[in-house]
Structure 1
């Protein structure tokens, strides 16, 4: 059981909102090469994640892990806070 859990997807991003109760919105950024022109393009995606203890604040760098659906939009949960905002 423990081995299967390690295969879940993980993302690292920055908290952009924590207004929901036990919910945070995390913005994940990455670079992708354009298939024709070869230029690197910045891509962003927002994920809604479960924050059980309401411990995140806006600007924190966090690690998310994929989980079962927790609500209509939440499919990720907070694993750890990598860096707290100052």
Structure 2
């Protein structure tokens, strides 16, 4: 996918009854105009108009780069 990255957002919350931390992951397809993102980068995304059938987000900035 050219100019597209898949961003995984993890939400950690305790289970209502047992108290164990449960990790819920949601994946968003985001627009990356310059193809700057690499696998493992931490990014900030922002909602935008629909860019394709599944793309409704864009990458605003890269917080931490993955050192591979």
- TM-score scaled by length of structure 2: 0.87
The correspondence for 2:24, drawn from 20, 43, 65, is 43
Tell me the residue number matched to 1:79: 60
Q: Which runs of 4+ in 1 moved over 6 A?
A: none
Secondary structure of the equivalent of 1:46?
A: strand
Q: What runs of 5+ residues in structure 1 fail to find an aligned partner?
A: 1-19
**What's the RMSD between the two structures over aligned residues?**
1.2
Q: How many residues align?
A: 67
Hey, what's the Cα distance between the residues in 2 that align with 1:45 and 1:80?
19
- TM-score scaled by length of structure 1: 0.71
Q: What runs of 5+ residues in structure 2 fail to find an aligned partner?
A: none
